[in-house]
Amino acid sequence: MKTLLLGLIATALAACSSEPQSRGERSVTVVAKPVQFVQEERVVEAIGTARAARSAELYPEVSGQVVAVRFKPGSFVRKGQPLVELDARQERLALRLAEVRVQEAEQLLGRYRRIEDTGALSESQIEAGETALAAAKIERDQAAVALEERTIRAPFSGHISFSEIDPGDRVTPQTLIAQLDQRGRLYVEFNAPEAVFKRLRPGETVEVSAFSDPDSSIASSIEAVDSAIEQEQRSYRVRTVIDNRDDRFRPGMSFSVRFADEGQSRPAVPEASVVWGGDGSSIFAVRDGKAARVPVTISSRREGTALLAADIDAGTLIIIEGVQKVREGQAVTLVESPERPAADVEVAGSGT
């Protein structure tokens, strides 16, 4: 009886020891598809500031007392329109005096011309009369310029800013009158990282949107890039231009700038096929009918798809369903034909 009991225990132990081996040889049903390679897309974002395509700070040419301010802050002014007038009484008198002297010189030279053929005057006297007339005309023109400088005019058409100048104020050439902006076109300037220097060139486009209007996505064309890289920040200045004929935006506004930079081609797999363990992330490839663990690093994600940094050859079968049931070296049975075309990877969307 004792011998029989020992035999039964030995048989049970042998069965238990052989069970894991038979389980290890059992095939697991999985779904696998050939790995696809897609171009990695790196999204770069920056903050830009808008400025008018043409802008000028207006200063008086001369010192004087303000007698009239002929614009409303924020209004649109035409080229040549008077903006500020300074006291010009002395300049008007000087111009009138210069005009009188021109008239006198013309009359004197006219008398010289009438008696020139009589021989009563020498050639040098006639030349002196001509010189006097020329000098008088120069003095008249100088007086006209001095008078014109007493009126500050718009150098081009545009919108004028607020001003702190009022009639009665005394101004100098260092006194800021106002700022004039031609904002039908706006420049949006931003700093781009040195790594994308080859990507951003004149003629390329980036997407910009105003912080005050996040839905205002605009395709903005790059007009110019700076000639050097800023050494401390390792970035360079980029200028884009946007159409603002509807006067929707203002100089000084902040804009979000976004553009995609294409990187290298990477293996793309469904995120669900990536497993995590104590040694990091990995996927399972099918090699010789068995599951083979491949260590991977996720470079970026796109709407359920993981782009990998890994040593994977094109066409390698990757387990995409049933991955939680397999382990290294386990036999697998495919329920879908590996020749079946894999679904296209959606390439639209954001980067990292």
Instruction: Kindly state the DSSP code that residue 303 receives in the 8-state scheme.
Output: T
pLDDT at 346: 39
Q: Which domains does the chain have, with CATH numbers?
A: 25-42+265-334 (2.40.420.20), 47-53+187-263 (2.40.30.170), 64-86+151-176 (2.40.50.100), 88-149 (1.10.287.470)
Give backbone dihedrals phi and psi of 171, rounded to 5 degrees, phi first: -120, 160
- pLDDT tens digits for 271-316? 888 888 878 888 888 888 888 888 888 877 777 888 888 888 888 8
pLDDT at 332: 84
Tokens of 199: 């990507």
E strand residue ranges, the chain: 28-34, 36-58, 64-69, 76-77, 82-86, 151-153, 158-160, 170-171, 178-193, 205-210, 213-225, 235-243, 254-270, 275-277, 280-287, 290-295, 297-302, 305-309, 317-321, 332-334
232: pLDDT confidence band, cut at 50, 70 and 90?
confident
Q: State the average pLDDT over residues 310-333.
A: 85
Cα(352)–Cα(50) distance, rounded to whole angstroms? 28
pLDDT at 151: 96
Closest CA to 99 of 150, 147, 146, 144: 144
> Among the residues of the chain, which ranges form H helices?
2-24, 89-114, 123-148
Cα(246)–Cα(66) distance, rounded to whole angstroms? 35
Contact 70, 85 (CB under 8 A): yes
334: pLDDT confidence band, cut at 50, 70 and 90?
confident
Tokens of 97: 């005096």
- pLDDT tens digits for 98-150? 999 999 999 988 888 877 667 677 788 888 888 999 999 999 999 999 999 99
162: pLDDT confidence band, cut at 50, 70 and 90?
very high
The answer, yes or no, to whether residue 262 has pLDDT greater than 90, is: no
CB atoms inside a 10 Å sphere around CB 187: 20
- pLDDT tens digits for 174-190? 999 999 999 999 999 99
For 235, the 3-state DSSP assignment is: strand
pLDDT at 266: 84
Cα(198)–Cα(175) distance, rounded to whole angstroms? 44
pLDDT at 24: 45
CB atoms inside a 10 Å sphere around CB 322: 19
pLDDT at 111: 82
pLDDT at 119: 67
The answer, yes or no, to whether residue 217 has pLDDT greater than 90, is: no
Mean pLDDT of the chain: 83
Q: Is 78 exposed, middle or buried (0-12, 13-18, 19+ CB in 10 A)?
A: exposed
pLDDT at 117: 66
The answer, yes or no, to whether residue 344 has pLDDT greater than 60, is: no
pLDDT at 83: 96
Q: Is the dihedral of CA 246, 252, 255, 261 positive or negative?
A: positive
* Range in 87-91, 158-162, 292-296 the model is least confident about: 292-296
pLDDT at 336: 61
- pTM across the whole model: 0.60
pLDDT at 203: 86
pLDDT at 351: 39
